[in-house]
């Protein structure tokens, strides 16, 4: 095989929750590899700003579209618009998610349901919408953002709803990989550990983060958003053409103990 097997030139990628944090970093990595990028987020204005920056910096086509991952019609509308504008959908990254640190005995059903609706049901809705388009094409790569929390229980913070949702994402990924492999659609997941983003930067300064999170991470530091870039490009590209149903753990070694 000749050429760059990581090249995404001409591919079309959608990243949910792509206007900030890990989603934005992964979108930048895909664009850097040549993919045209669609940022799907509930914050349309921020999405437009970031899409414009990425277009200027990487010279790819970009588009900002608003959708709530919990709303099936909105997500299907995004996929339909992408197919109309670009003629195809090659890569779909289900990144949008939330976490609520509430003790199990104190968690309301509403709080539990919101986490499950966004983190798990939202991923299914995205997979289904993207999968239908990819079935028509006969190809595609879906990348679900799970978490090391789908494999371990974080301490000391209580987050049973988040852990359960991410474990569900991992098994959903394997299930869809099995169903769609014969159609040349690959479905994989990435499981980040503790990452330094705008949402976590203050928490990372606390004694809890130092005494538990970093102490239990062999590399003794949080991951940086751009450090997920290689993984998402790998799973989106021909470099991973025989990879489906896999989960890439990117956690600084947290889960090896």
How far is 10 from 195, CA to CA, in rounded Å? 30
How far is 250 from 189, CA to CA, in rounded Å? 11
How far is 5 from 187, CA to CA, in rounded Å? 18
Helix axis angle, 229-236 to 21-32, nearest 10°: 60
Conformational region of residue 253, where left means phi above 0, alpha means psi within -120 to 50, and beta covers everything else: left
Active site residue 166: yes
Active site residue 205: no
How far is 108 from 112, CA to CA, in rounded Å? 6
Query: Residue 11's closest CA among 242, 212, 222, 232?
Result: 232
Q: Which of 47, 48, 58, 147 is catalytic?
A: 147
How far is 51 from 64, CA to CA, in rounded Å? 6
Q: Which of 11, 47, 161, 162 is catalytic?
A: 162
Residue 195 near residue 149, CB atoms below 8 Å = no
Q: Which of 141, 149, 161, 166 is catalytic?
A: 166
Q: Could you give the dihedral angle defined by the CA atoms of residues 192, 115, 14 and 55, in that order, rounded to the nearest 10 degrees? A: -80
Active site residue 254: no
Active site (catalytic) residues: 147, 162, 166
């Amino acid at each position: 095989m000749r050429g760059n097997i990581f090249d995404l030139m001409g591919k079309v990628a959608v990243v949910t929750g792509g206007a900030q944090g890990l989603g934005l970093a992964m979108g930048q990595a895909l664009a850097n590899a040549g993919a045209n990028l669609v940022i799907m987020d509930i914050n349309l204005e921020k999405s437009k700003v970031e899409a414009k920056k990425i277009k200027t910096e990487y010279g790819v086509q970009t588009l900002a579209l608003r959708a709530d991952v919990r709303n099936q019609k909105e997500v299907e509308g995004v996929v339909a618009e992408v197919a109309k504008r670009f003629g195809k959908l090659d890569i779909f990254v289900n990144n949008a998610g939330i976490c609520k640190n509430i003790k199990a005995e104190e968690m309301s059903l509403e709080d539990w349901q919101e986490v499950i609706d966004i983190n798990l049901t939202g991923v299914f809705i995205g997979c289904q919408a993207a999968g239908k388009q990819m079935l028509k094409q006969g190809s595609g790569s879906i990348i679900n953002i799970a978490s090391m929390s789908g494999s371990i229980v974080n301490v000391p913070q209580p987050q049973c709803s988040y852990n359960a949702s991410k474990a569900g994402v991992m098994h959903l990924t394997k299930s869809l990989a099995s169903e769609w492999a014969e159609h040349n659609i690959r479905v994989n997941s990435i499981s980040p550990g503790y990452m330094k983003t705008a949402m976590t930067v203050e928490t990372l300064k606390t004694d809890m983060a130092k005494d538990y999170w970093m102490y239990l991470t062999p590399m003794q530091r949080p991951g940086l958003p751009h450090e997920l870039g290689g993984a998402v490009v790998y799973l989106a590209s021909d470099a991973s053409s025989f990879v489906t149903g896999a989960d890439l753990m990117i956690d600084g070694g947290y889960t090896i103990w």
